[in-house]
Structure 1
Amino acid sequence: MTFSLLLRDPDTGEFGAAISSSSPAVSARCVNLADGIGGANSQNVTDPRLGFRLLDELRSGADAQSALDTVVDGADPETIDFRQLLVLDREGRTAAFSGGRALGTFGAVTRDNAVAGGNMLASLDVLDAFVDTALSASGRIEERLFAALSAAMDAGGEAGPVHSAGIAVVDDAGWRATDLRVDWDDQDPIAALGRALDVWMPQRDDYISRGINPAAAPSYGVPGDE
Structure 2
Amino acid sequence: MTFSLIGRCARTGQFGAAVTTSSIAVGSRVPFCAAGVGAVLTQHRTDPGLGPRGLALLRSGCSAEETVAALVASTPHHAWRQIAVMDAAGRTAHFDGARVKPERAAAHGPDVVALGNILSTEAVPGAMVAAFLAAPGAPLAERLLRALEAGEAAGGEHGEVSSASLMVVWGESFPYVDLRVDKAPAPLPALRALWEEYAPLADGFRQRALAPEDAPVI
TM-score over 0.5 (shorter chain): yes
Q: Residues 193-221 of structure 1: CA distance to partner in whole angstroms, max 9, x if unpaired?
A: 0000010000000000011221211112x
Q: Distance in 2 between matches of 1:98 and 1:141?
A: 26
CA shift at 1:88, angstroms?
0.3
Q: 2:20 — aligned with what?
A: 20
Q: Distance in 2 between matches of 1:97 and 1:17?
A: 17
Q: Distance in 2 between matches of 1:69 and 1:44?
A: 18
Give 1:48-197 correspondences, 5 Å limit: 48-76=48-76, 79-137=77-135, 138-186=137-185, 188-197=186-195
4+ runs deviating over 6 angstroms: none
Q: Share of identical aligned residues, percent?
A: 40
Q: Distance in 2 between matches of 1:81 and 1:109?
A: 20
Scaled by the length of structure 1, what TM-score is found?
0.94
For structure 1, the 5+ residue unaligned runs are 221-226
Alignment partner for residue 200 of structure 2, among 198, 202, 225? 202
Q: 1:223 — aligned with what?
A: none
Count of residue correspondences: 217
CA shift at 1:163, angstroms?
0.2
Q: Distance in 2 between matches of 1:109 and 1:53?
A: 23
The code of the aligned residue for 2:189 comes to: A
Q: Distance in 2 between matches of 1:124 and 1:115?
A: 14
SS at match of 2:73: helix
Q: Distance in 2 between matches of 1:23 and 1:148?
A: 20
Q: 1:224 — aligned with what?
A: none
Q: Is the 8 A contact 1:173 1:208 kept in 2?
A: no
Q: Residues 158-179 of structure 1: CA distance to partner in whole angstroms, max 9, x if unpaired?
A: 1110000110000103210000
Q: Is the 8 A contact 1:25 1:165 kept in 2?
A: yes
SS at match of 2:33: strand
Q: Distance in 2 between matches of 1:183 and 1:208?
A: 24
SS at match of 1:142: helix
Worse overlay, 41-50 or 134-143: 134-143
RMSD of aligned alpha carbons: 0.9
Q: Distance in 2 between matches of 1:28 and 1:70?
A: 23
Higher Cα radius of gyration: 1
